[in-house]
Structure formats: structure tokens, C-alpha cells
Chains A and B, each alone.
Chain A
């Protein structure tokens, strides 16, 4: 059974805020991004390394810096404990699978270390699709 996006938001926030690797370099990890999973969309707002808010029902004009968009199947692959080749990161999936990275990619690069660590939390938290 697929977890609700609200439950996912709570689990993801807790996992991210507790993560020691993010915590070791949390200061200035500030950005807002959209994860478009097809049947679920979330906007995550990060402020100084902590999850400030997760918008689980984004409206058309809700703002974000950058977006990751892929099919629900791809997001489920991201969430496997050990993802299969080409589903093991945002670069691999954008080069070889259907992941699209859109928006202000400079904001992504400015936060790439922590964002990469945070993205891999999906392997523990799962996805709401």
C-alpha cells in the first residue's frame, strides 16, 4: 500500500532533520525545490539545513527554485534500498532515464552536497507513489 503524501512528508522531514551528514554542513543549506512524482507532488523548503515546510498540495503558482520530474515508476526505483543501475542518483537518472531537472540549476549546484544526501534518504523513507 502506498503511503500518503502527508505521512511521507512527516517521515522525510524527521529523517532529514536527524541526518548527521546533512547536520555536519547544514548552515546555508537553504533552497526550495519541487519533486514531481506524477501522482504526487511536493515542494520542500529548506532553511539552514532544516526542513522548514513541505507543501504536499502545490498550487500552480507556488514558487520553487528547481524541480525534479520523473514517472512514479522511476521514483519507486529511487526508493529501493539499493537502486538498480541508472536509478541510483539524479545525474544517472537524468542522463539515462526519464528524470528531468528543471528551473534554476545553479541553486541546485549551490546546495548539491546536502541535496544529494537528502535525495538518498528516499532509500530509507520511501516515496508516496
Chain B
């Protein structure tokens, strides 16, 4: 008897700022759409635990896509993309996400992303609050400088190993070894885009002085960060959440920068708390 997963994969073609992308996404569940963004230089398998968590998928339509150029989502099919350096910007990243959600005709999904996905979640809360029921920025901060490095794709080094081992100690030593090496394996697969992703993460994403303009009555913001995250350590996320009127911060003990991928059972405890908060907030703010 074959052991099939309930998760299914599909492609959708979208146009984002004139770039045609054939986007791959994984999906499982029924209910409120929960759209998930992987971390920089990675792909949607980071959400494998969430996609197969029956406690979540009983009430949530979990959708984890590969950002263009990542995983099974190709680079733009209508551009000679190899002739220009890939440098992701906040505007293009947001346009990709909103276009993808529109293509799937999602009704005000919850958006959750980790690392650069968490940072874009903050951008979405500020610039597109009415398109999302809530956002869950994971391992995010208003500003995250220092990771836009040439060494990620230096031709004299094995870029796959540099990227994978370069993010190794973003994970907590307590996280299961199998899951940490699986995450390492994913990171060997995105070396060519990692630096370009980090252009958004460390350079173009700078929300200092803008957080007070986020309206959490329209789009609640629940931030979560692990204690072993050295890029956006807990105090950076807490400081960010504190500047957002109504912003909520949850600290995750003994986990790192890739919580959904390095230790899903522990991450799920905190995620369920965040979803419960969103349920309460969106129920009380629903029109009579």
C-alpha cells in the first residue's frame, strides 16, 4: 500500500511587474487560507511539518509556495534573466505575494513568513493591510543588516556548502539532528539566489521609523522569534513589535532562525498560540 501524503503540488502562472513566473506551491487543508513564505535561498519544503499537521489543516488551508527562482518555481520565463544580477526588492517581493494570492482567489489569507519572509510580512502589514487577515512575521525585525555578503556566491568556494553551513548555527543545537541536516540540504539547493534574496533582507528592507504607521486593527501582527537566532535576536524582534501599535511578540525558547524546518513540533506550540490570538482578534473585529 503506497504511503501518500495529503499534500498536493501545483503550478500557477502569474505576471508580476512584467515578469512571467510559473509558481509551484504545496497545499493541504480546509478553512482560513494560511500562506507561507520560506526563508532566503530556500524553498517550500521548510514547511513540510506544518503542511502535514492535521491539527492545523483541519481549520486552515495551508499554502506554501516557492518564490520565483527557488525550488520548483523557475526564474522569469519571459526574460533573459541570466544577463542581469538578481537583487530582490521589497516592492517586487510584495507584488509577487499579492499577485499570487489573487491568482488563487484567496479571501484575506493569513500570511506567515520566516526570516526574509518575516520581514516582507511586516512590509505587507504596512502597505497591504486590507489584503491580509493577519501576518505572522517569524524571525523578523524592522532592519536586519550584515548578511548581504559576496562570500555566498564566491566562485572560488563551493557556494552550496557555504550557504548551507553558513546558516548552520542559525539553528539551535537542541533541534533534532535529522531536521537540521535536512534544512542544511535544502540550503545547498539555493546558493545562486541566496545573495540576491539577502539584498532585500539586509539592504532594501528598512522599516525604521515606519512601524508606527502599521494599523493592527486592519491587519494584526504577531511576531515570533527563537532564542538562538543571532541575525534577528529576540530583543530585535521585541523592539520591533513594541513600536507597532497593538503589535504582539512571542519569544520561542530553544529554537533558532528556521523554526518550522529545524524543529516543527516545538514551533507548532507557538504557532497555535499565534493562530489562537488571530482567531480572537479577527472574530471580535468582524462586522456585525
Q: Do A and B come from one complex?
A: yes
Q: Is the interface of B mostly helix, strand, loop or mixed?
A: loop
CA distance A88 to B166 in the complex (A): 13
Contacts of B162 in A (CB 8 A): 109, 112
Q: Which residue of A lies closest to B162 (CB)?
A: A109
Known interface pairs A95-B146, A106-B156. Does A85 touch B228 (Cβ–Cβ under 8 Å)? Answer: yes
- Interface-lining segment among B80-88, B105-113, B167-175, B279-287: B167-175
Within 8 A of A (CB), among B123-181: 146, 151, 154, 156-158, 161-162, 164-166, 168-170, 172-174
Is B233 close to A, CB under 8 A? yes
Interface size on A, residues (CB 8 A): 21
Contact flags (1/0) for A77-103 with B, using CB distance below 8 Å?
000001101101111100110000000
Is B230 close to A, CB under 8 A? yes
Contacts of A123 in B (CB 8 A): 173
Q: Which one of B151, B161, B170 contacts A106 once the chains associate, using CB atoms below 8 Å?
A: B151
Q: Which one of A82, A89, A109, A110 contacts B169 once the chains associate, using CB atoms below 8 Å?
A: A89
CA distance A110 to B162 in the complex (A): 7
Contact flags (1/0) for A57-94 with B, using CB distance below 8 Å?
00000000000000000000000001101101111100
Check if A88 sits within 8 Å of B151, measured CB to CB: no
Q: Which one of A82, A86, A106 contacts B230 once the chains associate, using CB atoms below 8 Å?
A: A86
CA distance A91 to B233 in the complex (A): 13
Check if B172 sits within 8 Å of A88, measured CB to CB: yes
Is A4 close to B, CB under 8 A? no
Total A-B contacts with CB atoms under 8 angstroms apart: 61
CA distance A82 to B228 in the complex (A): 12
Check if B151 sits within 8 Å of A91, measured CB to CB: no
Check if B170 sits within 8 Å of A91, measured CB to CB: yes
Bin chain B's interface residue count: 20 to 34
Within 8 A of A (CB), among B214-234: 227-228, 230-231, 233
Check if B151 sits within 8 Å of A109, measured CB to CB: yes
Q: Which residue of A lies closest to B146 (CB)?
A: A95
Tell me, rounded to whole Å, the shortest Cβ–Cβ distance linking B148 to chain A.
14
CA distance A96 to B156 in the complex (A): 28
Contacts of B158 in A (CB 8 A): 110, 113
Check if A92 sits within 8 Å of B169, measured CB to CB: yes
Check if B233 sits within 8 Å of A96, measured CB to CB: yes
20 contacts between A and B (CB under 8 A): A85-B228, A85-B230, A86-B228, A86-B233, A89-B169, A91-B168, A91-B169, A91-B170, A91-B230, A92-B230, A95-B146, A96-B230, A106-B151, A106-B157, A110-B156, A110-B157, A113-B158, A113-B164, A115-B165, A116-B169
Nearest 9 pairs of A and B residues by beta carbon: A89-B169, A92-B230, A112-B165, A109-B157, A113-B161, A113-B165, A116-B165, A110-B157, A95-B230
